[in-house]
Structure 1
Amino acid sequence: MKKVVVIGAGAAGMMAASVAADRGLHVTLLEKNNRVGKKILITGKGRCNITNDCEIEELIENVPTNGKFLYSAFYTFTNNDVIDMFNNLGVKTKTERGKRVFPESDKAHDVANALEKQIKNKKVNVVLNSQVDKIISKDNKIEKIILKDKKEIKCDSVIVATGGISYPRTGSTGDGYRFAKSLGHTIIDTKPSLIGIEVQENFVRDLEKLSLRNVAIKVFNSKNKKVYEDFGEMEFTKFGVDGPIIKSASCRMKDTTKENYKIVIDLKPALDEEKLDKRVQKDFQKYTNKKFEKSLDDLLPQKLIPIIINLSEINPETLVHQISREQRKFLVNLLKNLTLTVKRYRPIDEAIITSGGVKVSEINASTMESKLVEGLFFAGEVIDVDAYTGGFNLQIAFSTAYLAGLNC
């Protein structure tokens, strides 16, 4: 019987092991932690956004790094297949704003437990607290696995599903990159992705924990070229900004030590400058005999008002009817273009995913098998593909793992 070893019991590893076991193969799933699915438990803030219920082409569009590499994977095991799989495993799902799909229970552990139940039912040999030291090939063909405790496991195929280097406390410590490199693969430089961003402006400290809904952002590089825009929710932190649209923006930003980025926030995207100006004039009429600092209560969250006043350079003590047209126009422009200067990403151990990984041109997109070593397969985040928030990254894990399990 053909022997397959899967390294890493996250979403991709459990999926790959399940599919391989379905084919009647002898499957051993190795996990360095004391339980499977550890990272799943913290995805989606503990709710686990399992996929996105959009068209396949839209899935690909939401993978800014090597999306086209995933055509075969996404069409072979679709987002509908993911939903059906979990429904069949007893996990009812629901679709929320942005077509994001969650378990009805809002509990990530239901997702992890379902995948664990599936591999147990398919008699996958799960070995916990087991750390791989090396993958050994002979004549460019997989021969065996050597564990840290020197134990050897002979096998015909290996599926590397070790994740990236984000959330290292869950076991994602870059082992897969080391294995791939030792077998001749190129590793594209890794960086944090889907992560909060630190900015230079000190005023963000005063805005810590302030969440903004229905705002728009644009990200510009040092040549003032727009590299990303989005609409939705964000929040201020002690260090800068975070939240869904900021995390997605981080996917489109390169090395912040080599490129200077700025984030421009439109606080009132539903109104163009002309309409916003009229809105401000209306508020100014209402508060005409009040001080400027008391005139923005209807327009902005309380925490943001002193910051905007300071940036507007209008004396807060000025009576509203004394504010000039030029000052008002400057204020309106500020509300449409609140600009933050990017300093750097937050530390990679806070990142949801890792950008970079095993070079896709060295992997067969139809099978997930290495083009360099026969019997070596890759699945999930270890590959140089990463997507925006919204369930796309877990779909990548499930689809690439399905192909690996089907072809190993």
Structure 2
Amino acid sequence: MKERTIVVVGAGPAGLMAAISASQNNNNNRVIVLEKNSEAGKKLLLTGGGRCNVTNNCNVDQLIKNTVTNGKFLFSCFNIFNNDDLMKFFENYGLKLKIEEGGKVFPTSDKARDVLYILLETLESNGVKIWYDSEVEKININENGISEITLRNKNIIKADSVIIATGGMSYPKTGSTGDGYRIVKELGHAVVDIKPGLVPIEIKEGWIKSLMGISLESTNIVCNVKDIEKPNKKPKTIKWTGPLIFTHYGISGPAVLNISSYLNKHINNSIIDIIIDIVPNVSEQELENILVSKEFEKNETIFKTLSKILPKNLVTALLDVLELNKDKKLSDISKEESNKIITNLKTLKLTPKDLRSISEAIITSGGISTKEIDPKTMASKLVEGLYFAGEIIDVDAITGGYNLQIAFTTGYVAGLNA
């Protein structure tokens, strides 16, 4: 059988897995990985705070449910290579894994570099070559499909198939600068508008700066989204529970990042209210018992009373915002003041101004339209011999290992079929 040359563009998690899959599943494949950086997996090394949350230990239905954009598109892929398959892959190559809260899967060593090492060692053992400092300028096609690749240095590589795994536009310092979008547009593919995903939210209210640096381990967040162009349409409600951090520009933290991936399609064409319960473990009735019924010592100050259920720096900042004297005794506060405190603790209302830039986002939302990709093979429906994998596709998920799983899965399937 004639040797075929498969070129993978991008040495991130999707590209590395695509190259492994292509080399393992057909001995007649000559596989080359092109990476414009001087090293592989730069973004992979940053994931999970450097610990690398490789996947999530949930069922396939949950993988799809927790994919914010085009989850159903991944159904066929997950039936071919899912999270169980991925964990077995790493464990078979000697990487020990552990499962943490929420089903998050990490290497036992807590080192992302150990994950990258396995991928690179597997490539080397399969005879795959990585060409570093090799940036693609153009992919050339003829009447039969893919023909060759032209690099920035003007070198030309003949290819039978090409897998585009260049990533998105988040973390541009790692090399994710949107190169892939330019390349695929030249080949006739449509790219869905690029937006930041898993990113902090800027808030209009100026007083939010006074809460800067304060973090809460648990909050309940409700976002009501009303379409400006369709005022009669029922508002969409997005809910999330989890940690939150106040910043100088607004809010961040795991709960906020996940909500942002739902809001990014509405932020510029909708009226959005964010309502935060900052004491989800204390009911409104319990707060009334404390502040109105004076359940605690009446001579206590408001500050001391609230500091029993909230961080002290948050109490100070909140009372300043509400223009309440923190040294005022519990016995001296009015019903109106009590209600003011309760309302802001249980339903703190904020107005989003915008999302932070894509350079601060964990992932990219948007990308190559899934309508132009065969979901069973990751093959282009427009160009013979062209395949896609990872973040360049218009698919993104919440935090918890889901986005890396998508990268590995689409990479494996693309390599299998290229």
TM-score (norm. length: structure 2): 0.93
Could you tell me which residue of structure 2 aligns to residue 372 of structure 1?
382
In 2, Cα distance between the equivalents of 1:230 and 1:170?
30
Q: Which amino acid aligns with 1:53?
A: N
Q: Residue type matched to 2:281 in 1?
A: A
1:300-339 matched pairs, under 5 angstroms: 300-339=310-349
Deviation at residue 367 of structure 1 after TM alignment: 0.2
Equivalent-residue separation in structure 2 for 1:266 and 1:348 (angstroms): 28
Distance in structure 1 (CA, Å) of the matches to 2:315 and 2:17? 49
Gaps of 5+ in 1: none
Residues 227-376 of structure 1 mapped to structure 2, 5 A cutoff:
227-253=237-263, 254-281=265-292, 284-376=294-386
TM-score (ref. length: structure 1): 0.96
- In structure 2, runs of 5+ residues without a counterpart are 228-233
Is 320-329 or 222-231 further displaced after alignment? 222-231
Q: CA shift at 1:226, angstroms?
A: 4.3
Q: Secondary structure at the match of 1:390?
A: coil
**Equivalent residues of 2:54, 2:404 under 8 A apart:** yes
1: CA distance, partners of 2:236 / 2:338: 27
The alignment's C-alpha RMSD in Å is 1.7
Query: Bigger CA drift: 229-238 or 29-38?
Result: 229-238
Deviation at 1:404, TM superposition (A): 0.3
Structure-2 change in CA distance of 1:227 and 1:146 (3 Å): farther
Contact preservation (8 Å) 2:65, 2:71: yes
269-278 or 398-407, which moves further after superposition?
Answer: 269-278
- What is the SS of the residue equivalent to 2:148? strand
| Structure 1 residue 211, shift from structure 2 partner | 1.7
CA distance in 2, matches of 1:290, 1:403: 64
Stretch deviating more after TM superposition (170-179 or 256-265): 256-265
Distance in 2 (CA, whole Å) between partners of 1:125 and 1:203 is 55
Alignment length, in residue pairs? Answer: 407
Deviation at 1:62, TM superposition (A): 0.3
Give 1:320 deviation, angstroms.
1.5
- Post-superposition offset of 1:314: 3.8
Counterparts of 2:385 and 2:17, CA distance in 1: 18
Q: Deviation per CA, 1:16-44: give whole Å up to 9, x if none.
A: 00000112210010000011111101111
Question: Of the candidates 124, 134, 137, which is equivalent to residue 138 of structure 2?
Answer: 134
Residues 304-329 of structure 1 show CA distances to partners (whole Å, capped at 9, x for unaligned) of 11232234454445331122233323
Give the residue type in structure 2 aligned to 1:84: K
Which segment drifts farther, 10-19 or 72-81? 72-81
Deviation at 1:331, TM superposition (A): 1.7
Q: d(CA) in 1 for partners of 2:320 and 2:335?
A: 18
Q: Distance in 2 between matches of 1:304 and 1:333?
A: 15
1:94 aligns with 2:98: yes
Note if contact 2:225-2:266 (Cα within 8 Å) is conserved in structure 1.
no
- Deviation of 1:214 (Å): 1.8
